[in-house]
Each structure stands twice: as structure tokens, then as C-alpha cells.
Amino acid sequence: MTDMIIEKARKEGRTMLTEIEAKQLLESAGISVVDTRLATSKEQAVAIAKEIGLPVVMKIASADVVHKSDAGGVKLGLKTAAQVGKAYDDIMKSIKAAFPNAKIEGVSVQTMARPGVEVIIGMSKDAQFGPVLMFGLGGVLVEILKDVAFRIVPLVKRDAKEMIREIKGFPLLQGYRGSEPVDVDNLESMLLKVSEFVDKTPAIKELDLNPIFAYKDGAVAVDARVILENA
Ligand code: ADP
Ligand code: MG
């Protein structure tokens, strides 16, 4: 599965995977992702939405669009077939305006995940240390405060435990003002699975699960980005 997806991208001369491809890789590595399927027409989008159950999220499916929401390529909380149909057209229109030369695969239709605490797992390669994993809390905490922890791949259990606990935002994961604590054990095992996956897949240059929704029972990645090494 992993090899097939990587080979397909390489044949097409791209190092960026689509979100759908990235999620397929992760899923095959045992990492929890939301059900995400490709629609290549409005009718198909509606059929998929009915199959996976409304409400759904729809996003542009293109390896040429890295920041999907910036370009009007993400629609959340679509509750009816009419909304799904309209979202398909709106997404296509926005992307064609913003990126006239983008190769568009279609639109992904995904389960709308229930809200959780947003966290991020990332992998990048250091010239000295090779693959390094990053963990942080989503949104402004990562973007502005850079509240993140790093460990060199492969991680051992203790690394995963420590990196979650050393971020300043850790209390947010333990529950605050009556909110429920999240399942930290599950995040640890997710970190270990990502570590194992990137360790055995050297073709991956960069990986971003941003965001992952963490719950009191489990966690699920709702967006994924994978960049390959040059062949
Ligand atoms: P971008 O390419 O802009 O990073 P994302 O796929 O991360 O696009 O979507 C933007 C935001 O929409 C996410 O940060 C998340 O809050 C929300 N989101 C995306 N996918 C889902 C989903 N399947 N269920 C619920 N919320 C989602
Ligand atoms: Mg994202």
C-alpha cells in the first residue's frame, strides 16, 4: 500500500502527496484518521456523504494546494445533500481562481470529527540527527508560542511520555475548568506508531498531522500532509 502510493506520486513527478494519499499511508500504519474518500463529481460527493453519514467535511484534493483553508478549499459541518453539492462547486470555483494551474484530483468527503483538544505531530529531517518527531498543541500555541517538544526517531516509550509532559500546555490535556482530561496513553501510542512508520519509510521527508483531535477516549487525525524525498 505504502509503496504503491509513493510510486504513483513519483511517476507523476511530485513529492507532495494529497491529503487522501497521506491518510491512506497513516491508516495502513495503524494511525487513526477520519474516514476520507475522493469524489470526482458533485453526485459522487453526495453519495459518499450519505454513505459515511452527515454532517461531513469537504476539502480540495490536490497535491498542488498545500494550505487548503487559505484558498477556500475547506468546508466544515455540511448537513444536507444540497449543502454538499454546493460545497463541491464552491471549492472548485475558489481553487480554480486561486491556483489556475493546480492539478485537481477532485474533492475529499470526510467524516466531521467531534470537537476535541487539537494537537500536532510532525516529522522533519535534521542534517545531523535524521528524522525528528515534534509534538505540540494545535493552533496558536504552536504557531505563536512555539510550545513544542522534539525527540529523535526512533522513539522509545519514555520519549513519548516525556515529550507530551514537557510542553507548557500539558495542563490543557489534563482537563481544565471542568473539561475532561484527554487520553494521554493514546497520544503516546500514536507518537510511537508515527515514529515506527517514518523510521521504516525513509522515502518520507516531512510529515504533519495537523490537527489531531484528542478525546477522553482516543484521538484521530483530521488533516495530514506528507512530502517525499526526491527520488
Ligand atoms: P489546512 O490545509 O488549511 O491545514 P485542514 O484540513 O487542517 O486544512 O482543515 C482546517 C481546519 O478544519 C482544521 O484545523 C480543523 O480544525 C478543521 N477540520 C478539518 N478536517 C476536519 C474534520 N474531518 N472534522 C472536523 N474538523 C475538521
Ligand atoms: Mg491542517
pLDDT band at 123 (very low <50, low <70, confident <90, very high): very high
Q: How confident is the model at residue 155 (pLDDT cuts 50, 70, 90)?
A: very high
The residue ranges of every structural domain in the chain are 2-111, 117-228
* Atom 27 in ligand 1: residue holding the nearest Cα: 222
Q: Give me the long-range contacts of 223-227 (CB less than 8 A, separation at least 24).
A: 223/19, 223/68, 224/19, 224/22, 224/23, 224/26, 224/33, 225/16, 225/17, 225/19, 225/22, 225/66, 226/16, 226/17, 226/21, 226/22, 226/25, 227/15, 227/16, 227/17
Ligand 1, closest atom to CA 210? 7
Banded pLDDT at 219 (limits 50, 70, 90): very high
- Rounded distance, CA 26 to CA 1, Å? 10
Mean pLDDT along residues 53-75: 97
Q: Which cell numbers in the block locate residue 123?
A: 516529522
- pLDDT tier at 142 (50, 70, 90 boundaries)? confident
Prediction pTM value: 0.96
pLDDT over 90 (residue 32) = yes
What fold does the segment set 2-111 form as a domain?
A: Dna Ligase; domain 1 (3.30.1490)
Q: H or E stretch including 94?
A: helix 81-98
Ligand 1 center–CA 19 separation, angstroms: 11
Which atom of ligand 1 lies closest to the CA of 69?
3
Cis peptide bond prior to 100, omega within 30° of 0: no
Q: Kindly state which CATH superfamily the domain 117-228 is placed in.
A: ATP-grasp fold, B domain (3.30.470.20)
